[in-house]
Structure 1
Amino acid sequence: MNRRKFFKNGSILTLGTTLLHPFSSIANTIPYKEGTRNKKAKNIIIIVSDGMSIGTLNMTDLYLSRKTGKCSNWLQLYKENKVNRALMDMASASSIVTDSAAASASWGGGVRTNNGSLNVSENGEEYMPLWQKFKQVGKKAGCVTTVPITHATPAGFCINSKSRNAQEEIAEKYLEQKFDLMMGGGDNYFSPEKREDKKDMYQAFASQGYEVVKTRAEMFSASNGKPILGVFDADGLPYSMDRQNNKELLQKVPTLAEMTQKAINAMSNHPNGFVLQVEAGKVDWAAHGNDIAALIYDQVAHDEAIQVAMDFAEQDGETLVIITTDHGNANPGIIYGNEANVNFDSIQEYKHTNEWILNGIGKETSISQIKERVYYANNFALTDEESHQLLRYYTDLQTEDGLYNPRHLPFQDLAKMQQQHNSVGWISMQHSADYVELAMYGPGSSLLKPFVKNTDLHYLMLEAAEI
């Protein structure tokens, strides 16, 4: 059709209405949850388990059910029919397999971008991120995560950047936008001793009225009347399992649920409401490492944050809670076999992650020491041959920068050895093109269709808040 005729004939009116209100046509076709009809969402909490394949959700629910007798909070919401539920297509502009930057940007900017990009198109066009839109209408906005706060998922809701790797610059952009609460890891991108430009971003935030906190105790005692920057580790936070078994980390590093509760406490008294992104970012890192203990325990941490958000939302009545993931990763699952039940239950006896195991080995480590370390962490014995196989990787360790496994430690080999004892298999160490789970509770949840594109979520949040 001729473009001028299209506009002249008035079709733009229909198109514009659809773009501004993409869910209005289906709003009356989905039953409203009791108590949410005709309400708008004053607050929005979106809780993301980064890199969560459906097998991760499934195994964590089984793990909790078999260990505690209670299923996961996420699955309990399904069982009680408390949420609207959908599958979401997470493809990026450049691939059917997205990375976390393009995934978050699809929600944050409402447009699909290339992998690696944050709300910037291939030709340089920038799209205003969602948290900036909410700030402009007077809401408080914040993010908490278990990876660096400058990482792709929080950044995708907050800023524009051609590259997700520009984390020093992303830290500066957070300050420019004056977000109200940002907490996670990432000292490498704030400390003058670690930044390439030697800028002291802690001082920069403090000079703008932020309370800077670096420990769990400082976070709890921080004033709810001031903006907060919380940075609790150099890079990502420790895995939940390793934290649980280390008294020093227990005292120093808050859990995702604790950060979520602090964020809600700090922003919920604002008359115009707040928006909060919560990310279990190290679920993705664990999947990249085929690290089953890290994966399950950090998914449990995500599940505990769900309960914090739901407790608030059910009492508040004006809060939309969104629970999802940005893509699959490694697609783990329990493999059929006569000993599958017993093998999977053995994970309950694990004390540490594979990251803890492998980072405690060096080329000087003896075979007996490797066997002792694995037995202590996993409660099973490696063979001498398996121990030699692991040790071979340490003769020429790499030290270059890189994501997830820069030293090229034998994560995949160890996972295959563990599979004989825990019956958990993995298809890869990379992202996958899953249609992902999406669940919603509260005002605006009735707008959700059974199958959506990732960019639809951007407009649904605006529609729910009547922005």
Structure 2
Amino acid sequence: MISDGMSNGTLSMANLYSKNILGRETNWMNLYLENKASRALMDTASASSIVTDSAAASSSFGGGFRVNNGSLNVGPNGEQHLPIWQKFKKKGKKAGCVTSVTITHATPAGFCINSEKRSAEPEIAEMYAQFGFDVMMGGGDEFFNADKRKDKKDVYSTYKAKGYQILKNRSDLKNIDKTKPVLGIFTTGALPYSIDRSHTPELQNTPTLAEMTKAAIDQMKDHKEGFVLQVEGGKVDWSAHANDIAALIHDQLAFDEAIKAVIDFAEKDGNTLVIITTDHGNANPGTIYGNSATQNFNSIANYKFTNEYLLNNIHNDFNTQQLKDWVFENNQFSLSDEEANHLLNFYKGLEKEEEGLYNYKKLPYKIYSEFQKKRNNVGWISMDHSGDYVELAMYGPGSDQLKPFMKNTDLHYLMLKAAEVENNF
């Protein structure tokens, strides 16, 4: 289980929000409080940098070697490292991935395939079929759909020819044929942010991460040789890149619901190792000291939507009062006229456009997060990945192998050892 881009501050704030607003500890923290999980810190560096990207990070887990940022299980000199889900498939196990972003994205791909470039998502969509993974669920219709691919290739038909059932919406999860492998592609691009999904009825035909996780486990749990599953909370990373606090907390809590689904199964099963971690930190968000720090942090409960949604719905013909009203409607705080005009200048082309990894529409995320910071006491060090050591937890048989400090590559060999799969490929 990988909450992509989860800094320690993200884990802390999600638990703080859960306690203060929802009245309960998170499932992750409960594993610690009830002394059910082993715990360590992990070094996440890649071959090319102390700060990894998701492709190199997943390759460390998936291939057992550090590679350069941007590549998937291909070493600096072109070495091809056999991905771990292929190793488990060769030993007769079922293997799957579920994610809240595109299923062809770096984190699932790092467990499954080799590619010099993480951006080769159209090709990765075809590779998955070649290796016959048993359950693959997430977004990314544009990489499978002939109408959306540049080469007009119908990749769905490739899967159907191999006996896959294709799932397209949430209700399809209730009617899965257990005798067939599953490809679930529920949207173009990534799945919606959890907070936007909860407040937008038309987005609720997409499943939650926990729902996909339960369905994947149900599909593979009775296989006599066992199964392996990767669960990625991919939009935790995207929201950290955007310094979007509501998106971040609610997607971390959605990942935490998936933890519950996994632990509920593992407790009953008694023979499953659960590894819960992240691939790297991102933006290192955290709470800031102040007289009203608790009250200000708790005000995040008033946020109805992500900053992405809020900022996408501001137009250059808004006047100052319209913008202030829109912000108040969605975040329950009042901008000053100066702040509102600063934001409006961006939409009128008078401010420099913001860049950012997942900022396709060049929205003013940084400007707006600074306005929020004054009201919610949450700060960010950047809008990109960080090289800090990260949290690593394990539950179940094999968790005794966890040492207090690990390299990301160590997990590859620990998984093989725990499953009694010899590394002789």
Alignment TM-score, normalising by the size of structure 2: 0.97
Q: SS of the counterpart of 2:273?
A: strand
1:276 maps to what in 2?
A: 229
Q: Measured at CA, do residues 196 and 132 of structure 1 come closer, stay the same or move farther in structure 2, by a change above 3 Å?
A: same
Counterpart of 1:204, as a letter, is: T
Match 1:267 to one of 192, 217, 220: 220
**Residues 21-40 of structure 1 correspond to what in structure 2 (within 5 A)?**
none
1:336 aligns with 2:311: no
Judge conservation of contact 2:18–2:26 (CA < 8 Å) in 1.
yes
Distance 2:58 2:49 in 1: 15
Aligned residues of 1:321 and 1:440 also touching (Cα < 8 A): yes
Equivalence for 2:271: 318
Cα deviation for residue 406 of structure 1 reads: 2.0
1:100-128 deviation line (CA, Å, top 9, x unaligned): 00000000000000000000012211000
Shift in CA distance, 389/402, structure 1 to aligned 2, threshold 3 Å: closer
Q: Separation in 2 of the partners of 1:158 and 1:399?
A: 37
| 1:369, distance to aligned residue in structure 2 (A) | 2.4
Please show how residues 163-202 of structure 1 align to structure 2 within 5 Å: 163-202=117-156
Counterpart check, 1:66 vs 2:40: no
Work out whether residues 399 and 407 of structure 1, in 8 Å CA contact, stay in contact via their aligned partners in 2. Answer: no
Q: What letter corresponds to residue 319 of structure 2 in structure 1?
A: S
Q: 1:204 to 1:136 in 2, by over 3 A?
A: same
**Equivalent pair of 1:398/1:406 in contact (CA under 8 Å):** no
AA in 2 matched with 1:254: P
Structure 2: which 5+ runs fail to align? none
| Residue 291 (structure 1) aligned with residue 234 (structure 2) | no
Is the partner of 1:86 in helix, strand or coil? strand
2:362 aligned residue = 408
Q: 2: CA distance between counterparts of 1:201 and 1:401?
A: 32
User: Quick one: which of 24, 49, 68 aligns to 1:95?
Assistant: 49
- How many angstroms apart in 2 are the aligned matches of 1:401 and 1:123? 32
Q: What corresponds to 1:234 in structure 2? A: 188
Tell me if the contact between 2:354 and 2:364 (Cα under 8 Å) persists in the aligned partners: no
Pairing 1:57-456 to 2, within 5 Å after superposition = 57-250=11-204, 252-396=205-349, 403-456=357-410
**Post-superposition offset of 1:130:** 0.2
In structure 2, distance between residues paired with 1:270 and 1:399: 52
Q: Measure the CA separation in 2 of the matches of 1:204 and 1:376.
A: 47
Which deviates further from its counterpart, 285-294 or 357-366? 357-366
**Structure 1 residue 365: deviation in Å?**
2.6
Separation of aligned partners in 1, 2:365 and 2:124: 30
Question: What CA RMSD, in Å, does the superposition of the two structures yield over aligned residues?
Answer: 1.5
Closer, same or farther: CA 254–398 of 1 in aligned 2, 3 Å: farther
Cα distance in 2 between the residues matched to 1:450 and 1:169 = 38
Query: What is the Cα deviation at residue 403 of structure 1?
Result: 3.3
Please say if residues 346 and 353 of structure 2, whose CA atoms lie closer than 8 Å, have aligned partners that are also in contact. no
Q: What is the distance in 1 between the residues matched to 2:320 and 2:93?
A: 58
Q: What is the CA-CA distance between 1:364 and the residue it aligns to?
A: 2.3
**1:395, CA displacement in angstroms?**
3.0
Q: Which amino acid aligns with 1:386?
A: E
Rounded to whole Å, the distance in 1 between the matches of 2:223 and 2:67 is 33
Please state how far the C-alpha of 1:219 moved relative to its aligned partner: 2.1
Once the two structures are aligned, what percentage of the paired residues are identical? 61
Counterpart of 1:213, as a letter, is L
Contact in 2 for aligned 1:206/1:212 (Cα 8 Å): yes
Distance 2:372 2:163 in 1: 49
Give the Å deviation of 1:402: 7.6
Amino acid of the residue matched to residue 363 of structure 1?
Answer: N
1:60 is aligned with what amino acid? A
Q: What is the match of residue 54 of structure 1?
A: 8
Higher mean displacement: 95-104 or 356-365: 356-365
CA distance in 2, matches of 1:426, 1:401: 16
Q: How many residues align?
A: 420
User: Aligned AA for 2:303?
Assistant: Y
| In 1, Cα distance between equivalents of 2:314 and 2:100 | 25
Name the aligned partner's letter for residue 326 of structure 2: R
Describe the SS at the equivalent of 2:88. Answer: helix
User: 1:202 & 1:191 partners in 2: Cα distance?
Assistant: 7
Q: What residue in structure 2 maps to residue 18 of structure 1?
A: none
Distance 1:417 1:399, change over 3 A: closer
Tell which structure's C-alpha radius of gyration is larger. Answer: 1
Q: Where does structure 1 differ by over 4 angstroms across 4 or more consecutive aligned residues?
A: 396-402
Cα distance in 2 for partners of 1:84, 1:454 equals: 16
Answer whether contact 1:189 1:195 (CA < 8 A) is retained.
yes
Higher alpha-carbon deviation: 91-100 or 347-356: 347-356
Which deviates further from its counterpart, 254-263 or 402-411?
402-411
For 1:49, what is the secondary structure of its paired residue? coil
Write the distance in 2 (CA, Å) between the matches of 1:151 and 1:398.
30
Asked if the contact 2:353–2:364 (Cα under 8 Å) also holds between the matched residues in 1, the reply is: no
Contact 2:51/2:387 (8 A) holds in 1? yes
**Cα distance in 1 for residues equivalent to 2:120 and 2:356:** 14
Secondary structure of 1:97's counterpart equals coil
- 1:398 Cα deviation from its structure 2 partner: 10
Shift in Å, 1:399:
11
